[in-house]
Amino acid sequence: MGNLDVTAYLHRLGCAAEPPSADALRRLHSAHIERVPYEALEIALERVTPLAPEASVARFLRGRGGYCYHLNGAFSALLRALGYQVTRHLSGVQSSAGDAPNLNRSHLGLTVTGLPDDPETTWFADVGLGDGLYEPVPLRYGEFSQGPHTYRLRASDVVPGGWRFDHDPAGSFAGMDFAPGAAEMPDFAERHHWLSTSPESGFVRVCVVQSLDSRGVDTLRALTLTRSGDVEKKQVLESPEDWWAALADVFGIPADAFTGEERERLWRLVLGQHEAHLAGAAGSEVVPSA
């Protein structure tokens, strides 16, 4: 199983090791979605994280999460260690309907094949889309619903032989295209560095944390905490104590995962982003997606 701490990773997910199957894949996927949040707080702290799945898992074990390269990279490594046949794919997220669909490697997509109980089905799995999939689905054309969202899978218009995932109109991004061939972690290094450092990157411009469950989505954008799906709630967290309490209570990210200096830096950052939003700064309403 290489350097991946499979036992600790499974414990983080609250799952037991079991032979590959469609039901086991669903259990692992939904547990990952619920327990490992979508977040880029390292980017907010101006740090470029390593892409190695082992490094991502080590961060997960400290109560942290990651964005697509970390989440899908580590999850695919876990599945491979458990005996699944997993393919990583070059992908691109279309942030809004006004943007062009693309394959700019801003996302790492996954498919799973060869399950013993269903060897003919290819499964689309993705734990790195923020408010995207809750459970894996068969990779076939058509609409499907999970929780509050309805999605669609179809042929990509920008990638020959590729696939297109259309998000629900209420979701945080428009859609995602992915190529049919296989990719590995180094293929995403250049784009990961850009997303982590460029002033034009959504992850640099606004601090966002998301968590999905079977009923709805929790999103923290700078100081604004929202719940959508089963209920619709929105509140502004007006103190650092409230902000860190929300990170812990809603997203499972403990304050002690950061030093005191890091906590102060993050609070100053999100406070500044919130004030810029109130002043009408362009783009502060966009949830960045990998």
DSSP state of 228: E
Q: Which residues contact 117 (CB under 8 A, 6 or more apart)?
A: 21, 22
Tokens at 122, concatenated:
């290819």
- State yes or no: is 68 an active-site residue: yes
- State yes or no: is 249 an active-site residue: no
Active-site residue, from 32, 70, 89, 107: 107
* DSSP code string of 4-67: --HHHHHHHHT-------HHHHHHHHHHHHHHS-EE-HHHHTT-PPP--HHHHHHHHTTT--B-
Active-site residue, from 29, 32, 89, 126: 126
**Residue 271: how many other CB atoms lie within 10 Å:** 17
> How many whole angstroms separate alpha carbon 125 and alpha carbon 132?
10
In terms of Cα–Cα distance, which of 30, 4, 22 is closest to 13? 30
> How many whole angstroms separate alpha carbon 184 and alpha carbon 210?
25
Tokens at 77, concatenated:
């490594």
Active-site residue, from 68, 131, 177, 192: 68
Identity of the residue numbered 141: Y
75 and 88 in contact (C-beta within 8 Å)? no
Please state at what angle helix 68-81 crosses helix 22-35, rounded to 10 degrees.
150
- State yes or no: is 15 an active-site residue: no
Q: Give the catalytic positions in this structure.
A: 68, 107, 126
